[in-house]
Amino acid sequence: MDLKRVVVTGIGALTPLGNSVPEYWHGLIHGVSGANAITLFDASKFKTRFACELKSFEPTDFLDRKEARKMDRFTQTALVCSDEAVKDAGISKETVNPDRVGVIFSSGIGGLITFQQEVTEFAKGDGTPRFNPFFIPKMILDIAAGQISMRHGFRGPNYAVVSACASSTHAIMDAFNLIRLGKADIILAGGSESVIKEAGVGGFNAMKALSERNDDPQTASRPFDKDRDGFVIGEGAGMLVMESLEHAIARGANIVCEIAGAGATADAHHITAPHPEGLGAKNVMFATLDDAGMKPEDIDYINVHGTSTPLGDISEVRAIQAVFGEHAYNLNISSTKSMTGHLLGAAGVIEAIACVLAVKNDIVPPTINHFTDDEGLDPKLNFTFWKAQKRTVRAALSNTFGFGGHNASVIIKKYSA
C-alpha cells in the first residue's frame, strides 16, 4: 500500500528554559542553563541538591483549580503544553473530525509525586486505609493521554507508550506509523515527566546516575566533557501535532516540517548501562535512515541522547561514527540536555522539537558546559560547543535511549511539496 506522508503542523513545549515554544527556543539558541537549586522539596540532605525545574509554573494559571487537584503534576504539564500545540495547529473538535484525531502521549514514570505522597501519608497513620479516591487515576501514566483527549474532545487512537527515557520518541514513532497507514488524520504525540521529589532524586542518586556538582549547578550537565559526572534531572512536557500531508493541505494548515522516518531497537545488554560499542544505538540509526529512505549524507544535524554520563556519551559517539563514517565530520552534533537537563520520558519529544526548530530556522542549538576535552572522543567531530551555529539543516536526527536498553530515533526534514 502507499504510505501517507506525515507532517508537523503544531508544537507545544513546557521546559526548564521557558513555558512556551518561543521561550524554549530562545533559551536553546542562547545557551541558557535551566539548572538551579531544588525548590520542589527540601533536598538539603541529598547527594544532589539541584535540578532543572520549570520556572514560574503555576498549574492553576491554566487549569481550573478543582480539576488540577485531581491530577499529578505530570498530567498538569501535559495539558498545558497540549493547549499550546492545539492552538498552534489551529485545530479543534469543531474544525476537524474528532473521531480521526488521536493522542499518543507518554511518560517514563508517571505519577511518582502522587504515589510518594499517598504512601507517605498512609505510613504516618495507624494502618487504617485512607487514600485519595483520585490516587490511582492521578498516578497511572496513561492518564495524561486520556485527559488530553477529554480536554480537546478528540476520540481517535489514545494510549501511552512506555520505554523509560525513549518513551516520547516511541510515541512519535507510533503516531507516525498510524497516520501513514491511514488509521488517523491527526495525532497529538509527545510526553511529560515530573519526578523532582524525594523518591525520584533519591532513587537516581542511589544509582549514582545524577551529577553531584552542587557548587555549580548551571555547569553540571556536561555532555562530552572529560569531567562529566552524571545527568541533571529535569521536568516538563512537549507535543507535536502530526498530520497526514493530504489532510493538512486540505484544511490549509501551516506545515512546519515533515517526519521522514523512525526506528526502534534494543541493546539486549544491561538494565541501565548502554552497550559499550553502541550496538543498539548504531542499529536504530541505520533502521531510521532505512525507514526514511535516506542516506547518512542526507543528515545535517544530530540531537544526541547525550546525557552527560561517562559511559553513555562515548558509546553514542562510537555508534554515530560507525553509521556516518566520514560524513560524521560534516555533521553538527549537540546535546540540548546540557541546557534543559534530562526530562526522562519527555526528553525525546522536547529534543525532537529542538530538531523541528533547527530545521525550520537553519540554526543548530549548542552543547554548553564544555571545559575539558575527553581524549576518548574524536576532536574533529563538531559538537557545537557553547554557541549556536547557523547552517542549512535539511534533515535532523534525534536519538533517545532508555533504561532497559530501549532505543528510538526519528528523522525530521524540511517539507517540500
Helix (H) or strand (E) holding 51: strand 50-51
Of 342, 355, 370, 406, which is the active-site residue? Answer: 342
- 270 an active-site residue? no
Distance from CA of residue 217 to its chain's centroid? 21
Dihedral over alpha carbons 285, 192, 414, 31 (to 10 degrees): -90
- 305 an active-site residue? yes
The residues with which 187 forms a beta bridge, in sequence order, are 102, 242
Of 52, 81, 152, 165, which is the active-site residue? Answer: 165
- 327 an active-site residue? no
Among 212, 234, 186, 265, smallest CA distance to 345 is for 234
Distance from CA of residue 347 to its chain's centroid? 2
Helical H segments across 258-329, by residue range: 279-292, 310-324
* 257 in Cβ contact with 353 (< 8 Å): no
- Amino acid at site 52: C
Of 152, 305, 370, 406, which is the active-site residue? Answer: 305
Record the cell numbers describing residue 59, joined without a space: 498549574
Backbone angles phi, psi at 300, to 5 degrees: -105, -25
- Amino acid at site 115: F
Rg of the chain, C-alpha, whole Å = 20
Query: Active-site positions?
Result: 165, 305, 342
